[in-house]
Amino acid sequence: MILVVDWLLKLNVRIMLSELTVEIVRNSGSPKEDKLVVCTKEAAADAKDAMAIFKAGEANDMQTVALHADAIRI
């Protein structure tokens, strides 16, 4: 999975007893409205190549998540 966005975010999602970790890194620059678009598509339980599944047709559902965060460094 390639995500080209500008945030540092670790997101753990549990979907049907499996777990996905997404890491997003934000480069320095002026503030802007960032978003994460999540696309879903049904796949066989033994599927290994997510890109091939999405290339085979449109996603079932898309959800847009606004990203708002404050960075605190200690």
Model confidence pLDDT, tens digit, residues 18-49: 666 666 666 777 777 777 777 778 778 888 88
Query: Rounded distance, CA 43 to CA 53, Å?
Result: 7
Residue 37 within a domain:
yes
Number of independent structural domains in the chain: 1
Residue 19 within a domain:
yes
Q: Which of 30, 31, 33, 14 is nearest to 22 (CA)?
A: 14
Domain of 27, in residue numbers = 9-67
Q: Which comes out higher in pLDDT, residue 55 or 19?
A: 55
Q: Which comes out higher in pLDDT, residue 73 or 44?
A: 44
Exposure b/e, 12-33, CB count within 10 A at least 16 = b: eeeeeeeeeeeebeeeeeeeee
pLDDT at 71: 56
Residue 54 within a domain:
yes
pTM surpassing 0.75? no
Q: Is the pLDDT assigned to residue 4 strictly greater than 60?
A: no
What are the residues facing 64 on neighbouring strands?
Answer: 37
